[in-house]
Amino acid sequence: MRSVADSLSFLADLAGRPPISVLAEAFHAAGHDLALVGGPVRDAFLGRAVHDLDLTTDATPDEILRIVKPLADAHWDIGRAYGTIGARIGGETVEITTYRSDVYDQASRKPSVEFGTSLEADLLRRDFTVNALALKLPELVLVDPSGGMDDLLAGVLRTPSTPEVSFGDDPLRMLRAVRFTAQLGFTVDDETRFALDEMAGRIEIISAERVNEELSKLLLSPAPRRGIELLVESGLAAFVLPEIPALSLEMDEHHHHKDVYQHSLTVLDQAIDLERSRQFDGAPDLVLRLAALLHDIGKPATRRLEPGGVVSFHHHDLVGSKLAKKRLKALRFDNDTIAAVSRLIELHLRFFGYTDGAWTDSAVRRYVRDAGPLLERLHILVRADVTTRNVRKADRLSFAYDDLEARIAELASQEELDSTRPDLNGEQIMAILGLAPGREVGEAYRFLLELRLEEGPLGEEEATRRLLAWASARPA
């Protein structure tokens, strides 16, 4: 966190650079207020990088457009109904919003937008005091009507109005509180925490798309575990991601197993650590993190108490894959994300058969073939799934996976394993067998693919001989 003096110096420098300085002069000349507001001001004090340039003004959307048009390379008014005009000026993107004093219908997902005339009133309607900070331009005056600076220094999340009013106005703010605990490392004050517990059910009126956005931002934060724990403890998870609290399985004195909920959080932590060390671009991977968090959600439905105090979860990988697909679809995730996450969950147990005995080259090829473009993510997920405290067991599993990756690399260098295909393509099959496009061609292709996986590259001549022998042995 920057010192107050350094933060104010940073903000002054930011305000002196285009496009902020250009806009400040233009709005001042037009007789309107302008202030840098919310996240950029907060992050300047926290020492975080400032990406979004959010501004607020007493000018109406029409007046904003009149001021901005001569200065902008491009502008858009997609948020005009909510008072927001976007523009690109000198290569930088800014959003400028008219002061608001929204009125919410308690049964509605959306506010009735009303424009305001006061910066202080606009700040008091925001979600948390640490986001209710503004820097007036061009005079560089810090405006803090709700004690946001004190909360920023203390690392506390508190609402400017009572949390009951704030969360009643917009229940999504409850998920934002959860996200900020992970993203900023803050704690929620007692009054706000009590309101989270009491009002969790109100989240049901929020659209799945908005919930999706907040959950994704939470998972993409540097350390999401803290936020997920609050999500579960407050009761919010029961409404937006009920599979996670369900992982806290009941234990009894005769049947013992590890805490699946805590195990899943640890797998998420370990997957993030491996993601940072193994992924080249360094960007947070939403697909991987979703798969790590959800990989065991099939366990509650498959839990069986066996003789001798053993607890089994047979086929929880397949059940979990289906449950993840259903939940992510309900949360309006895109089809590619849903398919990738559910496939990783389906495959996450496949490796553990490797430790029972050496896999054939065929089995290694199938592992790679089934993972496809998800192979690196599967490597990370499988390694992260080892949370045992038994050092010898953990080392044995780690060495076994090292061996598997080495064999994959060796086979890949020999066979172009990532793009495993039969030695003959569809057109060649049709020409050799005299077939038209249809089911028989697909069957022949699958026969050759199985040969490729079992025996490696055969070459066109040998593949043709095998194909003809296969076709002649089939019933007419």
Greatest extent of the chain over all pairs of C-alpha atoms, in Å: 89
- 91-119 average pLDDT score: 76
What's the pLDDT at 453? 78
- 61-69 average pLDDT score: 95
Average pLDDT, the chain: 89
Same topology, domains 1-151 and 251-419? Answer is no
Kindly tell me if the per-residue pLDDT of 112 is higher than 80. Answer: no
The pLDDT tens digits for 429-439 are 989 999 888 88
What architecture (CATH level 2) is domain 251-419?
A: Orthogonal Bundle (1.10)
In angstroms, rounded to a whole number, what is the distance separating the alpha carbons of residues 207 and 210?
6
Q: In the numeric block, which tokens belong to residue 397?
A: 């599993």
The residue ranking higher by pLDDT, 95 or 259, is 95
Q: Taking the domains of the chain in order of start, what are their residue ranges?
A: 1-151, 155-241, 251-419, 426-473
Reported confidence tier of residue 2, pLDDT bands at 50, 70, 90: confident
The residue ranking higher by pLDDT, 1 or 17, is 17
- 196-216 average pLDDT score: 96
What is each CA distance from 387 to 264, 268, 351, 474, in whole angstroms? Answer: 9, 11, 15, 50
Q: Is there a contact between 145 and 120 (Cβ–Cβ < 8 Å)?
A: yes
The pLDDT tens digits for 355-388 are 666 788 888 888 988 999 999 999 999 999 999 8
Reported confidence tier of residue 396, pLDDT bands at 50, 70, 90: confident
Q: Is there a contact between 122 and 116 (Cβ–Cβ < 8 Å)?
A: yes
Q: Identify the H or E element spanning 446.
A: helix 439-455
Q: What percent of the chain has pLDDT over 90?
A: 62
Give per-residue burial for 454-471: e unless 16+ CB within 10 Å, then b.
Answer: eebebeeeebbebbeeeb
Closest CA to 383 of 398, 371, 366, 364: 398
Structural fold of domain 155-241: Hydrophobic Seed Protein (1.10.110)
- 215-241 average pLDDT score: 97
Give per-residue burial for 89-105: e unless 16+ CB within 10 Å, then b.
Answer: beeeebebbbbbebeee
Q: Which range (218-232, 276-290, 302-316) has the least confidence?
A: 302-316
What's the pLDDT at 219? 98
What's the pLDDT at 252? 47
- 260-283 average pLDDT score: 89
- For the domain with range 1-151, which CATH number is right: 3.40.640.10, 3.40.50.1220, 3.30.460.10, 3.40.50.450? 3.30.460.10
In angstroms, rounded to a whole number, what is the distance separating the alpha carbons of residues 24 and 32?
9
